[in-house]
Chains A and B, each alone.
Chain A
Amino acid sequence: MQQTVAAAEFLAACALSRVDAVSGFARDGLLSSQEVFTQQLVTGLSNGMIIALIAIGYTMVYGIIELINFAHGDLCMLGAYFALTVVGALGVDQWAGTGGIMGLVLVLVGTAAFCGSLNWSINRLAYRPLRKASKLSLLVSAIGASFILVNLGLFWGGLPMDVFADGTSSAAPKAFPALVSAAPAAQIGDVIYSRTDLLVLCVTLPLMVALTYLVRFTKLGKAMRAVAQNPTGASLMGIDVERVIGASFFIGGSLGGFATVVYSLYNQTVSFQMGYRMGMDAFIAAVLGGIGNLPGAVLGGILIGVIRSMSDGYLEARWTNTVVFGILILILVFRPSGLLGAKLREKV
């Protein structure tokens, strides 16, 4: 009998602790002011633009071969390691003035080329042999590729270089040097707009414009749209489908390369495990916007960035992942086509 009472008390305590937690969130919410809100919004938008750029990589690949490219986040992680290696080997962080800007451009373009080529090669080695296999075999292969990339990141972190802290603990997170000065670019009220915020805009916006141009107005873009609609039909029209798929992987990967440099500059630390988180955020963004839909990926990325930052600010940071994954599940269950995606089509 006593045990039953104790058990009941325990369950009641569990229920109460939930109520406590919820009311705690509400209290925190009341305390914050307009400035805090705007600051969180700025951070959220900046992170959101980065997520959007990575999400485009997911959505392009999904639009064309219906593969959730699980390795995309880890590709970006390797990109960050590549950028860090370039910075360390050339001493880019010591370049001053115009040289510094040139160095930044060099790192951005180099990483983009690296990630693009790597993504192209992964497609060639791990996905292309499975073109006729089931979608889930392809997904399993992508998960395998992701694990291989994670392991390569672990190896890479052991390089005996200064930027990797001599590589003595390869698994530890590495500090990414600040190539952009930490001084604020502008301050309105108490809200600080940092130079990295500015950098995010300067990198992401032109790329998105360029991509829109590419997909809408060039011959390659037309071919990509055709392959996305109907690969067989496209190949009958004389389009080299494999070449188009390869190009999509390259473009998606290089956008991820740009994004990962900006991400590393923004968050100032990289680790071999960051790809999973980055990849999940971007994938959730792509699904939220409607996977296969490029403007949807951007919208989704911005929304996820803002939701994350608001959740960090107003709930608790430790619940942020739960919130984001909860959103993912709700979308997939109730509106799998996302916000901007087309209507569901049931294949029989």
Chain B
Amino acid sequence: MAISSKRITINLLLIAAVASIPVIEKFVPLGLHISDPMTDVFVYAILGLGLNILTGFTGLLNLGVAAFAAIGAYVFAISTCEIYPFQLGFWSALGLTMAAGALAGFALGAPTLRVRGDYLAIVTLGFGEIVKDVLVNMDSITKGTQGINPLPPPTLFGHELGGSGQYWLFMAIALLVAVGARSLERSRIGRGWISIREDELASRAMGIRPDHAKMLAFATCASLAALAGALTASRLSSSGEPGNYDFQISILALCIVIVGGIGSVRGVLLGALVMVGMNSIVLVKLTELMGGSDAAPPAALAEAHGLQWAFLFVKTWAQNVLISPTNWKFLVFGLALVLMMIFRPEGILPARGAKEDAPDGDEGTGGVTGGVTGGITGGGASSVAAKELRP
């Protein structure tokens, strides 16, 4: 489909609007300070776009994408931090990080090519846990739970970038990745990925080599995740502790892809805005508005009786946890996943053809989940143990 000029105009307007946020914040003191969390949105967009290549295009569910971000952050940290002997510059370290990420992707992808469907998801989850534990335990190299710091900030042509500079740089990188992902999707490689998602056997018959294509998808996903990890590390001037790259981050990335629209680049960008916006803007701002999450003073529950007791009980409980919006984070993620799966499995901005391509064989609600989402079963081919329930 040709790109209409109207579409280009809309895209440019959106980009200009997002790019102007730091300028507006500088001159119009609204007191919102959203440019900082917006930088997070860009990083998560990169992470989501990477995951989208593996999970959305190729149909391989990855529950350990945070591990690649961790690898990226630590490779970046070790290659730039002054306490290590390498001390590369920002851009060369970034290049090295992406290469290392791709290598890690190969390392996980190669042995797991024969593992399919939900088993692959569990292998990636296990990989994520192992990477996290190894980073904590190899403390002679990784400084364990302290993380590695200080790290140099992002630079451009020799200038160190501050808040707004980082905002624009990260936005540009995210845009570049998005455009790259879009072109990849339409390229020979991308069409190969999608054909594997739809039907691996048929795509093999058409001359696509699924093993090569899957490895490439793994490496691209890992490389982009590593890039996201390195950018965050550079921004925070610390690799952060390994515990930061836990299962929650992987799930947040998955939420971004699924909520936005699995397999859809624009959807992933929107998903990053919605999910990260929810997580680090809405919930945080609400918490600030409500005056923090201090635990309530112990109520005089012992003396109260009957209705008064019940009222006090609920009130204290609410003050203890319910009132703090950040305590609702998991509920938001969880509901997002369950509700999306039930009511709109193709996401907010579905990939083109997500609905029409419903597999013919399915009856009933199968049609709704069809196309892209149905495709994440890995082309219907599954290698699982024969079903049984033996006493």
Contact = CB atoms under 8 A, between A and B. Distances in A.
The winner among A13, A134, A291 for most chain B CB atoms within 10 A is: A134
Size class of the A contact interface (CB-based, 8 Å): 35 or more
Interface string B313-327: 100110011100001
A209 B381 CA distance: 36
Nearest to A342: B386
A143 B125 CA distance: 12
B122 A283 contact: yes
Contacts of A215: 389, 391
Contacts of B377: 134-136
Interface string A254-292: 000000000000000000000010001001000100111
A181 to B, nearest CB: 29
Interface in A85-99: none
A148 B334 contact: yes
Interface string B284-297: 00000000000110
Nearest to B61: A136
A37 interface: no
A325 B119 contact: no
A235 B203 CA distance: 35
Most central of A170, A228, A344 by chain B CB within 10 Å: A170
Nearest to A276: B247
A225 B391 CA distance: 9
B4 interface: no
Given A160-B298, A333-B114, A325 B129 contact: yes
B331 interface: yes
A158 B375 CA distance: 42
B341 A329 contact: no
A17 B139 CA distance: 10
Contacts of A144: 333-339, 341
Main secondary structure of the interface of B (DSSP, over half): helix
Contact of A346 (B111, B247, B328, B383): B383
Interface in A127-148: 129-141, 143-148
A9 B389 contact: no
A340 to B, nearest CB: 8
Nearest to B373: A137
Interface centre among B258, B331, B374 (most CB of A within 10 A): B331
Contact of A10 (B84, B328, B386): B84
A167 interface: yes
A143 B141 contact: no
Interface stretch (A185-193, A194-202, A314-322): A314-322
Interface stretch (A43-51, A58-66, A106-114): A58-66
A319 B251 CA distance: 24
Q: Which of A133, A318, A333, A348 counts the most B-chain CB atoms under 10 A from its CB?
A: A133
B341 A295 contact: no
Contacts of B2: none
Interface in B111-155: 111-112, 114-115, 117-119, 121-123, 126-127, 129-130, 133-134, 136-138, 140-141
Given A136-B121, A144-B334, A292-B389, A167 B130 contact: no
Nearest to A4: B85
Nearest to B333: A147
B123 A329 contact: yes
A68 B382 CA distance: 14
Contacts of A338: 385
Contacts of B133: 318-319, 321-322, 325
B389 A147 contact: no
A148 B254 CA distance: 16
Nearest to B63: A143
Contacts of B339: 144
B295 A168 contact: yes
Contacts of B85: 3, 6-7, 9-10
B201 A348 contact: yes
A66 B140 CA distance: 43
A160 B311 CA distance: 12
A326 B322 contact: no
Nearest to B331: A151
A333 B126 contact: no
26 contacts: A3-B86, A7-B85, A17-B141, A63-B389, A133-B368, A135-B118, A137-B345, A140-B258, A140-B337, A144-B333, A144-B341, A151-B328, A158-B320, A158-B322, A168-B296, A169-B295, A170-B320, A216-B391, A290-B385, A293-B389, A295-B390, A295-B391, A325-B130, A332-B112, A333-B115, A347-B382
Interface of B: 61, 63, 84-87, 111-112, 114-115, 117-119, 121-123, 126-127, 129-130, 133-134, 136-138, 140-141, 201, 247, 251, 254, 258, 295-296, 298-299, 301, 313, 316-317, 320-322, 327-331, 333-339, 341-342, 345, 362-366, 368-369, 373-378, 380-391
Interface of A: 3, 6-7, 9-10, 13-14, 17, 59-60, 63-64, 66, 68, 126, 129-141, 143-152, 154-155, 157-160, 166-170, 211-212, 215-216, 221, 224-225, 228-229, 276, 280, 283, 287, 290-295, 318-319, 321-322, 325-326, 328-329, 332-333, 336-338, 341-348
